Amino acid sequence: MSRIGKLPIAIPAGTTVDIKDDVITVKGKLGELTQKFHNRVNLEVEGDQLHVKVKEGVENADAMHGLYRALIANMVKGVSEGFETVQEFVGVGYKAEAKGQILEMALGFSHNIFMELPPEIKIETINERGKNPILKMRSHDKQLLGQVAAKIRSMRKPEPYKGKGIKFEGEVLRRKAGKAAGK
């Protein structure tokens, strides 16, 4: 049995959980999320806690136990508190600018890259003189936020020699030594 799956999920005040058939809907102050869950697990709401239980005698039910507990916990946290990712644009001439839901990035290519972001994601760019541009994204959907952040990072991954590229805040890059000077 999964150690993570056994943990109860605390449901904060102002958040409602609705379970119908094999679909769970979580509503909170930041939005609403829906997730279909497998028939190998049972969901039970007891007061202000949600428990994910394994169906006895069902094959591979343990494999789904921790997975659905983690997915539902992320949904509850997302609609009550939300998630945020911060990315830093490291490189000469690299910049990011938000115009509504359109993100314009200058990444050293011959042209700027325009990316339209989903309406669930709120973006903010910080461009201070002498510092690297920073992109902050907030959303109630952790999966969507991570997917968009990974797509942006894939435009210019950090390279190991100078560290130029798009990196997450606090990310430690593994650096390589350059060519050794000749004699």
What's 73's domain CATH number?
A: 3.90.930.12
User: pTM (2 decimals)?
Assistant: 0.88
Given 65, 80, 95, the domain boundary residue is: 80
Q: Kindly report the CA angle at 122 between 140 and 114, in degrees rounded to 5?
A: 130
List, in sequence order, every residue forming a beta bridge with 136; answer none if it has no partner: 86, 124
In a domain, 183, yes or no: no
Residue 51: per-residue pLDDT: 92
Rounded mean pLDDT of 98-109?
94
Pairing of strands 113-116, 49-54: unpaired
Question: Which is more confident, 138 or 172?
Answer: 138
Instruction: Write the DSSP symbol of residue 61.
Output: H
Residues 57 and 134 in one domain: no
Residues 59 and 94 in one domain: no
Rounded mean pLDDT of 107-132?
94
| Confidence band for 1, pLDDT divided at 50, 70 and 90 | low
Residue 13: per-residue pLDDT: 92
Does 173 score more than 70 pLDDT? yes
Residue 115: per-residue pLDDT: 96
Rounded mean pLDDT of 48-69?
86
Q: First CA to last CA across the chain, in angstroms?
A: 62
DSSP one-letter string for 98-160: EETTEEEEE-SSSS-EEEEPPTT-EEEEE--TTS--EEEEEES-HHHHHHHHHHHHHHSPPPT
Given 80, 115, 144, the domain boundary residue is: 80
The residue segments making up the domain with residue 163 are 83-168
Does 181 score more than 80 pLDDT? no
> What mean pLDDT value characterizes the chain?
91
